[in-house]
Amino acid sequence: MAATLIEEYRSYLAHNRRRSVHSVRAYVATAERLTEFLSEHLGEAVSRTTLSKLDAADLRAFLAYRRVDGLTNRSTARELSAIRNFLRFALGEDAP
């Protein structure tokens, strides 16, 4: 389910939002990292329903996980922006 959602997101960014190839790649990479993390963190497949039930603690856990990878403050801000964008899309708040 997450793979289909991410492909829909990729298409949305490229065609509806007309983002650059580099922006699409960065935003999609964040969505992929988030869904992979959540799949392990929550112990279930990630779907729109799963994403609708996330709380602040889940997102903080993801950002803490990314900080261990050496994410800087600036990169954390970009990552958070990409997460918000992906969640808005996934939950139908920013859909075409």
* pLDDT in the model for residue 94: 66
* pTM for this predicted structure: 0.90
Map tokens 């600036």 to a residue.
Answer: 74
Statement: residue 95 has pLDDT above 70:
no
CB environment 46-75: b (16+ within 10 A), e (fewer): beeebbeebeeebbeebeeebeeeebeeee
pLDDT digits (tens, 9 = 90+) for 6-63: 999 999 999 999 999 999 999 999 999 999 999 999 999 999 999 999 999 999 999 9
Indicate the domain borders of the chain: 2-90
Statement: residue 93 has pLDDT above 90:
no
End-to-end CA distance of the chain: 20
* pLDDT in the model for residue 96: 47
